[in-house]
Amino acid sequence: MNKNTSNNFIGQPILSQIISHIPKSIVNEAVRKHNSNYYYKKIPVRVHLISLLYGVLSFCNGLREICEGMLACQGKISHLGLNKAPAKSTLSDANSKRSYLVFETIYFSLVRHYISFISDSRLKGLSIRNLKIIDSTTIQLFSEILRGVGRNPKEGSRKKGGIKVHSLMDAFSGITEFLRITAAKEHDKKFLHHIELKSNSWIVFDKGYIYFRQFVKWTNNKIWFVTRMKSNAVYHVNKVIQDNTKRKNAKGVLKEQYITIGYKNEDQKEQRLKLRRIVFKADDGKIYEFMTNNFTLPATQIARIYKYRWMIELLFKQIKQNFPLKYFWGESVNAIKMQVYSVLIAQLLMVVIRKIAETKKSFANMITVVRLHLMSYVNLIEFIKDTYKAWNKAHPPGEVLILFG
């Protein structure tokens, strides 16, 4: 990294240092795959990506904020490889006309590039090494482009619509490995048709994904799941492994059973599926009923696996609180999906940078500091490790007197 010794500034602003963690080969390969620079040449993919990442990291709520914000940094954006700030109309057209698939490809290429680096080898208390978590989150918006959700509006008002982001998260890296964006009304269980898992994988999810036909396929392929039972589930107990319900002040595993549940196959014929039911009492006194197709892992481990499902809810919370998804930068489905993938790219880059910096700062605190200094000339990694020390190193106290003297 170059250093300008005349003013003690690091040679690149923080935004440029963040973007440097996107290998050029990944962008170039995505452009070639989708021929993304051929049909819309006014703004190349690289410039388009940088502009949207600026909007994400600076928490812009609209294209005007992005373009005018970059215009204010006109003297610095040359370090980003840009000649000038894009016009609002140019960026709007690019969001609508360029396929979001190029951003999707860039994101998943980055996941493959960094996943081994950011993954931990183990999760506390677990003996398994391949755990995936699935869930969905709804992002609401006022728009007619997607099917509405909720009640019909009163006369003269607009129906509230939304999109649903279905995600498959790797528990050991904490990032989204696969996702699908649909209208908010689509049922969660349809997402199961689109995910691919290796044999001996583990997957955990809530009751909204219960789909017995899929469970049969997973069982045949030695893919193990953990979920909670619905309160109205009908099942037959084949064998009781343990029953501690009569023990005074019992906690942990209260009951373990082998059960059979009936379901209808594609031909609407009645079938039977053998599962394992575990009743668990947490330290706070709350009782959970789990079911799994694995019959070998200890019951306490099954309960602990489900406990890690909260990780994906924290991921959704992290994304929604720290990145702009309340307002959208376009009214087309393509523009909305492009913004979602831009947010995911930014989130992944910040996870990588946080790992490099080995900081104890919270993700929210790190993002806030970076946002305030996005175009500042200071070493990014040092800045995250020790903000004041890095800033004073790049901007010695005497420098203020020189600038204003």
Residue 144 has pLDDT above 70, yes or no: no
Same domain, 297 and 342: no
If you count DSSP H runs as helices and E runs as strands, how many of each does the chain have, helices first? 14, 11
User: CA 84, 87, 93: angle at the middle one, nearest 5?
Assistant: 130
The total number of structural domains that make up the chain: 2
3-state secondary structure of 379: coil
pTM of the model: 0.82
| Full DSSP string of 58-96 | TT-SSHHHHHHHHHHTTTTGGGGT-SSPPPHHHHHHHHH
Reported as a pLDDT band with limits 50, 70 and 90, residue 148 is very low
Residue 398 is predicted with a pLDDT of: 57
- Pick 105 or 312 by higher pLDDT: 105
Q: Rounded to whole angstroms, what are the CA distances from 5 to 2, 8, 10, 393?
A: 9, 5, 9, 12
Residue 149 is predicted with a pLDDT of: 43
Domain stop point among 301, 321, 338? 301
Closest CA to 179 of 265, 271, 65, 103: 103
Same domain, 272 and 363: no
Kindly state whether residue 157 falls inside one of the protein's structural domains.
no
Same domain, 335 and 274: no
Residue 75 β-bridge partners: none
Residue 52 is predicted with a pLDDT of: 94
For tokens 């999109």, the residue is 163
Kindly state whether residue 206 falls inside one of the protein's structural domains.
no
Residue 260 has a CB neighbour count (10 Å cut-off) of: 12
Residue 349 has pLDDT above 90, yes or no: yes
Kindly state whether residue 121 falls inside one of the protein's structural domains.
no
Reported as a pLDDT band with limits 50, 70 and 90, residue 122 is low
Kindly state whether residue 169 falls inside one of the protein's structural domains.
no
Same domain, 7 and 99: yes
Same domain, 334 and 255: no
Residue 254 has pLDDT above 90, yes or no: yes
Domain stop point among 301, 316, 347? 301
What residue numbers bound the domain in which 258 lies?
Answer: 223-301
Residue 163 is predicted with a pLDDT of: 80
Kindly state whether residue 81 falls inside one of the protein's structural domains.
yes
Q: Which residues contact 193 (CB under 8 A, 6 or more apart)?
A: 214
Residue 157 has pLDDT above 70, yes or no: no
Lowest mean pLDDT among 55-59, 115-119, 395-399: 395-399
Kindly state whether residue 342 falls inside one of the protein's structural domains.
yes
Kindly state whether residue 309 falls inside one of the protein's structural domains.
no
Closest CA to 339 of 319, 368, 354: 319
Residue 121 is predicted with a pLDDT of: 62
Same domain, 88 and 14: yes
Same domain, 394 and 344: yes
Kindly state whether residue 193 falls inside one of the protein's structural domains.
no
Closest CA to 66 of 76, 77, 55, 56: 55
Residue 400 has pLDDT above 60, yes or no: no
Q: Taking a C-beta distance cutoff of 8 angstroms, is the pair 303, 279 a contact?
A: no
Averaged confidence pLDDT in the chain: 84
Distance CA 141, CA 208 (A): 23
Residue 2 has a CB neighbour count (10 Å cut-off) of: 7
Q: Please write the tens of the pLDDT for every residue from 195-243.
A: 889 999 999 999 888 889 999 999 999 999 999 998 888 899 999 999 9
Domain stop point among 284, 301, 318? 301
Q: Which segment, 21-30, 82-91, 374-383, is predicted with the most confidence on average?
A: 21-30
For tokens 């942990």, the residue is 252
Same domain, 235 and 296: yes
